Chain A
Amino acid sequence: MDFNALGACFTTPACVVTQATSGLIVGMLLFLVAAGLTLIFGVLKIVNFAHGTFYMLGGYVAYSAYAETDSYALAVLAGAVAMALFGVLFERVLMSRVYGSNVLMQLLVCYAVVLIFDDIVKIVWGPEFRAMGMPAAFQVPPLFIAGGVVPPFYAVLIGIAALIAIVLSLGLSRTRLGKTVRAAAVNPQMVSALGVNTTVLFAIVFAIGGGLAGLAGALAGPVRSLSPGMGFSILIEGFIVTVIGGMGSIAGAMVAALVIGLVRGFGTIGFPGFTDGLIYIVMIGILVLRPQGLFGRPL
């Protein structure tokens, strides 16, 4: 623990900007992952343990697409679309068979998918770490804000994630589909009785959730390296964000993702080596004080 370093950081604007930026990056990626998780939980009441796998596969698909086409935009699109399709497939072929049975069976199906795809990634892309590299368009001098270094790619990343957050929340509150999704989250039988095809609706929700995770994986490509098994750490953090925010709440996921991101950003200064522990402490603390999460409905 190094409170002096933390204190020193808070008094220097450059350090605050740098750490806040890295925190925001983490937070925004986490939000994209957690938004899908929380959406799937909200509508289907399923805890999707395979969500980290979507993220990992999204990253790898983008990696390959980038190597083929040399266009980062196409690569990101490929990662997101591929995972949206994968989400539908996963829901139709596997998850739909265990709806209504023991929750643990759903968990097992997801666990199996995690194990299978970690190995498939090893077979297809090899067990070693892969780095996508920064796209040429972003290999430009960094911005300086109050003396802090902000690479342009980071700014773009934060912008994209913020845009998605806005589109998502507007889509949920304004569009017909969004309203149906919200209604289904409250009472799926009633929505089904009103003539909405819930089978299609569930598939759409998984497509959106999978697509968001794939997008996050693809966007993370240039800043994080790819490795088999990388899905799990993001999954745990995604869960922490979902749980802290209140399961099923998009706004909660946003706030919680930023909290976790900033705790990570500044935690590396004050508590090097124990940043992970810090996050679990935050989660335990919030759950003890507010068991349903920050924005969750009362239990």
Chain B
Amino acid sequence: MLILLLAIPILHRSPAFEDFIIRLSAMALFATSLNLLVGTTGMVSFGHGMFYGFGAYAFGLTMQLTELSLPVAALFAVALTTIAALVVGAICVRLSTDYFAFITLAVQMLFFSVIVSWQSLTGGDQGLRGGIPRRHIFGFDLGSQLHLYQFCAIVAVLGLLALRHVSMSPFGNTLRMIRDNAERAGFVGIILWRARLLAFTIAGGFAGMGGVLAALFVSGAYPELADWPNSGQAIFAVMLGGINSFLGPVLGATILLAMNDLVQRFTEYHGLVLGVVILAFALGLRRGVLDFIHLVWSKRAR
């Protein structure tokens, strides 16, 4: 898959496609990390966009304020986001479903208002401007779109593989058990809050990684990255692709991004079209595309 992705530009250069994949890598990481909470653990977080934005700002600020090299700054940003997720998670994971959703949303909105009002550091609602020095790393020149594309694709695929590893590990099975029957999981000796907190922290870290890629793409960071519609988009990507399939969120992010691009070309009323599509999907399929395919397949097999 990765080889295929990296081979495409050699055969045919298409800036629009490369641009699409760069944005998709950020979005796919973001959505898949959210699914570790929503699909695997059964925790619906409305505030996951916070960590996406946090990653983007942490990376952008580190690059602007320090002399650290890009990979170090990226790792540092992901580490910071992970710590932030640990702290936020410690407050949130003890609450039950509905309240968990709202407190995560509230923490995200708090973070958002801090970004907007702390103008001296973040540039307020203008966003973090001045650009990020795109230095050379490992022979990649991130100033060139082709290299940025390759870099993002590699990071995203590695990140997704790592997330898949987490999801397939015994720990992933523990999370699924908590989702299906928290009480029983508690009886067999699993410390619920600790497992949930770990899942929350891991998911936050990977969302931060997505945020780093987003910051690289726009060469800065904007409050919108941490705003609620972004969390909504991620939830929609997860739902659209399918919460019970690992690649579901990636497919969902692809469909969503493609749809956004397509609709924006034809009409300014892009919410109207998106809304109608969502309605058709929620009332028609009632599950994500990949989950739907799985269901149809398993029925046929029987």
Binding site for B on A (CB under 8 A): 47, 94, 97-98, 101-105, 107-109, 111-116, 118-120, 122-123, 232, 236, 239-240, 243, 247, 273-274, 276-277, 280-281, 283-284, 287-288, 291-293, 299
Contact = CB atoms under 8 A, between A and B. Distances in A.
B269 A109 contact: no
Most buried by B among A101, A105, A123: A105
A31 B107 CA distance: 22
A123 B114 contact: no
5 contacts: A94-B279, A101-B286, A112-B275, A123-B269, A284-B107
Contact of B282 (A109, A236, A283, A284): A109
A189 to B, nearest CB: 21
- B interface: dominant SS: helix
B232 A111 contact: yes
Given A239-B102, A284-B110, A118 B271 contact: yes
B113 A280 contact: yes
Given A115-B271, A273-B117, A97 B106 contact: no
B38 A284 contact: no
B113 A115 contact: no
Contacts of A97: 283
A247 B98 contact: yes
B107 A280 contact: yes
Interface residues of B, number: 40
Nearest to B272: A119
Contacts of A232: 228
B182 interface: no
B137 interface: no
Given A114-B275, A116-B272, A243-B99, A108 B110 contact: no
B160 interface: no
Contact of B283 (A98, A122, A240, A273): A98
A128 to B, nearest CB: 14
B235 interface: yes
A108 B269 contact: no
A112 B279 contact: yes
Q: Top 8 nearest A-B pairs by Cβ distance?
A: A115-B275, A116-B275, A280-B110, A115-B271, A119-B272, A112-B278, A277-B113, A112-B275
A83 B97 CA distance: 29
Given A94-B283, A280-B110, A299-B96, A111 B271 contact: no
Given A114-B275, A123-B269, A276 B103 contact: no
B20 interface: no
Contact of B98 (A47, A105, A277): A47
Nearest to A122: B269
Interface string B86-98: 0000010011111
Contact of B271 (A107, A116, A299): A116
B242 to A, nearest CB: 12
Contacts of A291: 94-96, 99
Contacts of B232: 111
B169 to A, nearest CB: 25
B276 interface: yes
Contact of A283 (B106, B276, B286): B106
B236 interface: yes
Given A243-B99, A284-B110, A291-B95, A120 B272 contact: yes
Contacts of B270: 119
Interface in B250-302: 269-272, 274-276, 278-279, 281-283, 286-287
A179 B105 CA distance: 33
Contacts of B38: 104
A292 B109 CA distance: 20
Given A47-B101, A104-B239, 10 more contacts: A47-B98, A98-B282, A101-B286, A108-B239, A111-B232, A119-B269, A236-B228, A277-B110, A277-B114, A299-B96
